């Protein structure tokens, strides 16, 4: 019987520190058989590809890596968009919107001309709004276009809580919702420690976590990227880990629930806006979007974040679609 081999192929567009960190993580974890790197500075992409090729003797499996062009996108399973400059000191992620939108205007139509029909994973900030824009530009189903969203914020929140309580982050179940940015919120009513509701666990430990402390932790989570930015210029290890967890869930049809930036279609009472919320990820991309139960006060906090993103979406440049986006 003739054997059928399914090739998993990933393309990364933008080989700066974030894109190259994603590339190394993909190779290190042997998540795909073929990896193509694309950058406006082609020689930079060539250098990154060569550097990765020199790691193969020490990797679990050999990944075919090369610097390529948009023509290489036609049979990719996942395309990671990591192109874009970080905000300048004193700016928010939303301040980089127009620059990132222009970059996407140059990238997405060229990708779609190749015949690409896989999944876009957006990292470029402001990730929620840019993921929405890529969906609009591509004409792909929204299930095929997602952003890393609050996946990294949720990991940061878990790390902060774990450090505070002297635990392994894997023993903390907590999620950040809304914008990957300053307006994100934490549904404290749903935080679990060692599979117990937070307040129940705190009571058993003889501890309390005041409203002021919770607000401080939310702010610390939202600003964690800036703490890194101020010290080393940008962040890349954490976001690369989050991105590759998402890629792995899609390529391996894991049916994993992760907090990503995705289009809501009625969840929380909102439509046609991208923001961070738990979603079921598998071979078909976003296969379900889950609504976290929120208190009335938490719904108000989420409303503030969603309104911020809706206003940013409304400021996007006009779209010339490569296909027909779903209604």
Assigned CATH topology for domain 151-314: L-2-Hydroxyisocaproate Dehydrogenase; Chain A, domain 2 (3.90.110)
Amino acid 86: pLDDT: 67
Q: Are 244 and 152 in contact (CB under 8 A)?
A: no
pLDDT computed for residue 3 by the predictor: 46
Q: What residue has token string 């840019």? A: 130
CATH 3.90.110.10 domain locations along the chain:
151-314
> Which residues is 79 bridged to in the sheet?
11, 120
Residue 182: count other Cβ atoms within 10 Å of its Cβ.
Answer: 14
Task: Please state, in angstroms and rounded to a whole number, the distance separating the CA atoms of residues 18 and 37.
Answer: 12
Which residues are identified as catalytic?
180
Residues 6 or more apart whose CB falls under 8 angstroms from that of 190 comprise: 174, 175, 292, 293, 294
Q: Are 179 and 275 in contact (CB under 8 A)?
A: yes
| Helix (H), strand (E), coil (C) string for the chain | CCCCCCCCEEEEECCCHHHHHHHHHHHHCCCCCEEEEECCCHHHHHHHHHHHHCCHHHCCCCCEEEECCHHHHCCCCEEEECCCCCCCCCCCHHHHHHHHHHHHHHHHHHHHHCCCCCEEEECCCCHHHHHHHHHHHHCCCHHHEEECCCHHHHHHHHHHHHHHHCCCHHHEECCCEECCCCCCECCHHHCEECCEEHHHHHHHHCCCCCHHHHHHHHHHHHCHHHHHHHHHCCCCHHHHHHHHHHHHHHHCCCCEEEEEEEEEECHHHCEEEEEEEEEEEECCEEEEECCCCCCHHHHHHHHHHHHHHHHHHHCCCCCCCCCCCCC
Q: What is the pLDDT of residue 317?
A: 86
Q: Is 3.40.50.720 the CATH number for 9-147?
A: yes
CATH 3.40.50.720 domain extents, the chain: 9-147
- Distance between CA 28 and CA 44 in Å, rounded? 20
Res 318: pLDDT: 81
pLDDT on residue 135? 98
**Structure tokens given for 38:** 């694309």
Helices 224-232 & 211-222, crossing angle to 10 degrees? 50
Rg (CA), the chain: 20
pLDDT at 49: 98
The predicted pLDDT at position 89 comes to 66
Q: Give the Cα separation of 244 and 284 in Å (integer).
A: 16
The pLDDT score that the predictor gives to residue 327 is 33
- Which positions of the chain have pLDDT values less than 50? 1-5, 321-327
Residues in the chain: 327
Nearest residue to 275 via CA among 151, 173, 168: 151
Residue 322 and residue 72: Cα distance in Å, rounded?
A: 18
């Amino acid at each position: 019987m003739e054997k059928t081999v399914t090739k998993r192929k990933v393309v990364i567009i933008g080989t700066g520190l974030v894109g190259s960190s994603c590339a190394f993580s993909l190779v290190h974890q042997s998540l795909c058989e073929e990896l193509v790197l694309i950058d406006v500075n082609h020689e930079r992409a060539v250098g990154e590809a060569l550097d990765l090729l020199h790691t193969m003797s020490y990797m679990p499996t050999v990944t075919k890596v090369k610097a390529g062009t948009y023509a290489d996108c036609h049979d990719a399973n996942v395309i990671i968009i990591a192109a874009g400059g970080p905000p300048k000191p004193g700016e928010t992620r939303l301040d980089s919107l127009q620059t990132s939108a222009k970059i996407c205007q140059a990238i997405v139509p060229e990708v779609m001309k190749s015949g690409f029909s896989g999944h876009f994973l957006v990292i470029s900030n402001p990730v929620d709004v840019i993921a929405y824009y890529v969906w609009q530009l591509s004409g792909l189903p929204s299930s095929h276009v997602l952003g890393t969203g609050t996946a990294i914020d949720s990991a940061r929140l878990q790390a902060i809580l774990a450090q505070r309580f002297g635990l392994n982050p894997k023993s903390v179940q907590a999620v950040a919702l809304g914008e990957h940015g300053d307006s994100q919120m934490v549904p404290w009513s749903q935080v679990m420690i060692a599979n117990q509701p937070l307040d129940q666990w705190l009571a058993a430990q003889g501890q309390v976590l005041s409203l002021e402390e919770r607000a401080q932790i939310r702010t610390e989570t939202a600003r964690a990227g800036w703490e890194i930015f101020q010290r080393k210029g940008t962040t890349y290890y954490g976001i690369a880990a989050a991105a590759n967890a998402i890629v792995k869930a899609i390529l391996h049809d894991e049916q994993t629930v992760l907090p990503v930036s995705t289009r809501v279609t009625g969840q929380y009472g909102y439509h046609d806006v991208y923001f961070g919320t738990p979603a079921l990820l598998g071979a078909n991309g976003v296969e379900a979007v889950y609504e976290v139960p929120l208190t009335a006060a938490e719904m108000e906090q989420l409303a503030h974040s969603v309104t911020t993103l809706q206003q940013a979406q409304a400021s996007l440049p006009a779209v010339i679609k490569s296909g027909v986006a779903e209604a």
